[in-house]
């Protein structure tokens, strides 16, 4: 899909290309933190975002984990939602039409407990209008089956990616978990299997205890840590993966400002996703688009692609 670019000749060019999909700017919403778009539409002009990535969708509806499912932590939050969602058919019928009204790329984040389930979800979505790419979540730490099981094993990650790729013509972004020993191994595997792009990171597994009651704060006991606390980990992993693969890499993790986003772009991410920041500031995505534009203009950079991957590793302050 080609989106309308920025027509103002004095403004820097912000469009980037991700696996055949050109988006008007590199800012995307991270799955699970922006609902299905409608929830934020009173605060955010959705047409100003590069892409909306919706909450993870599975074949059948899921009620998710029992509460409490969220707890705040210093510089972040732990969640164990467990991929609650209405199922792919309800998504296509009731949620997708809203997003079709906007000039924005719609990326559907999907999840399955088996390879076959992934394929069935992909087949249903591939015949629906208004979807521009799929993000394959092989990285959720809060479910017992599927999720991270695929993302932590290079062979399983390869298989699910290959089968999904075979089932659709849509660009495939594979989302990786940081909860592995060597993320580059998984990244190479999904690239070899035909992924069009890689996004990372999903949340970092953690836990938190109520010392008075001596119980875990989350009913699930463990949860996924997100927010500014994980940004240095995410940035390091993006930097490592960018060196290992030729396909575009999308940076995620703790980005709350344009400066954070610019760090990811400079280490080589082609675009970024904004997650937990949306809970602190519902306009975070728009503010970050504007902040990146201002940075480029101030530094006389005419096109964002001139900045991506320009980290000077030899340089010091």
Ligand X SMILES: Cc1cc2nc3c(=O)[nH]c(=O)nc-3n(C[C@H](O)[C@H](O)[C@H](O)COP(=O)(O)O)c2cc1C
Our separate counts of H helices and E strands in the chain read 10, 16
Nearer to ligand X among residue 146 and residue 227 (C-beta): 227
Rg (Cα) of the chain, in Å, rounded? 18
Residue 220 in the binding site for ligand X (CB under 6 A): no
CA gap 276, 88 in Å, rounded:
24
| Total number of residues shown for the chain | 317
Residue 119 in the binding site for ligand X (CB under 6 A): no
Among 25, 58, 137, 161, binds ligand X (CB under 6 A): 137
Q: Is there a contact between 66 and 11 (Cβ–Cβ < 8 Å)?
A: no
Residue 165 in the binding site for ligand X (CB under 6 A): no
Residue 56 in the binding site for ligand X (CB under 6 A): yes
CA gap 149, 172 in Å, rounded:
19
Residue 95 in the binding site for ligand X (CB under 6 A): no
Question: Which among 156, 145, 139 is positioned nearest to 190, based on CA atoms?
Answer: 156
Residue 32 in the binding site for ligand X (CB under 6 A): yes
Nearer to ligand X among residue 46 and residue 176 (C-beta): 176
- What x/- string results for residues 2 through 21 when contact with ligand X is judged by CB under 6 A? --------------------
Stretch that binds ligand X, among 78-86, 123-131, 182-190, 285-293 (CB under 6 A): 78-86
Q: Is there a contact between 121 and 135 (Cβ–Cβ < 8 Å)?
A: no
Residue 31 in the binding site for ligand X (CB under 6 A): yes
101 Cβ contact partners less than 8 Å away, ≥ 6 residues apart: none
- What's the DSSP call for residue 304? G
The footprint of ligand X on this chain (CB under 6 A) covers a number of residues equal to 26
Q: Cβ-closest residue to ligand X?
A: 32
283 is catalytic: no
Dig out the tokens for 105 from the structure: 């790329």
Maximum distance among all Cα pairs of the chain, rounded to whole angstroms = 61
Residue 121 in the binding site for ligand X (CB under 6 A): no
Q: Which residues bind ligand X (CB under 6 A)?
A: 30-33, 55-56, 79, 81, 83, 109, 137, 140, 175, 202-203, 226-227, 230, 252-255, 274-277
Q: Which residues are catalytic?
A: 140
């Amino acid at each position: 899909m080609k989106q309308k670019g920025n027509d103002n000749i004095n403004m820097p060019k912000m469009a980037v290309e991700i696996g055949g999909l050109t988006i008007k700017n590199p800012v995307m919403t991270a799955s699970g933190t922006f609902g299905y778009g409608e929830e934020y539409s009173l605060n955010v002009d959705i047409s100003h975002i590069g892409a909306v990535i919706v909450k993870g969708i599975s074949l059948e509806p899921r009620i998710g984990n029992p509460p409490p499912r969220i707890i705040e932590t210093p510089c972040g939050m732990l969640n164990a939602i467990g991929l609650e969602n209405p199922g792919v058919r309800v998504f296509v019928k009731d949620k997708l039409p809203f997003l079709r009204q906007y000039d924005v790329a719609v990326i559907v984040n999907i999840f399955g407990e088996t390879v076959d389930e992934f394929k069935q979800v992909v087949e249903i979505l591939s015949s629906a209008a208004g979807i521009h790419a799929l993000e394959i979540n092989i990285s959720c730490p809060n479910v017992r089956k599927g999720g991270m099981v695929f993302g932590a094993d290079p062979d399983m990650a390869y298989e699910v990616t290959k089968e999904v790729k075979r089932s659709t013509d849509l660009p495939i972004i594979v989302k990786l978990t940081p909860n592995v020993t060597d993320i580059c191994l998984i990244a190479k595997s999904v690239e070899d299997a035909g992924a069009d792009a890689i996004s990372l990171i999903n949340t970092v597994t953690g836990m938190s205890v109520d010392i008075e009651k001596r119980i875990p704060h989350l009913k699930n006991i463990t949860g996924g840590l997100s927010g500014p606390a994980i940004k240095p980990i995410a940035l390091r992993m993006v930097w490592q993966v960018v060196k290992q693969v030729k396909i575009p890499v999308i940076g995620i993790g703790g980005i709350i400002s344009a400066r954070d986003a610019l760090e990811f772009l400079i280490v080589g991410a082609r675009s970024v996703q904004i997650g937990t920041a949306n809970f602190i500031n519902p306009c975070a995505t728009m503010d970050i688009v504007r902040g990146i534009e201002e940075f480029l203009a101030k530094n006389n950079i005419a096109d964002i692609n001139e900045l991506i991957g320009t980290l000077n590793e030899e340089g010091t302050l």
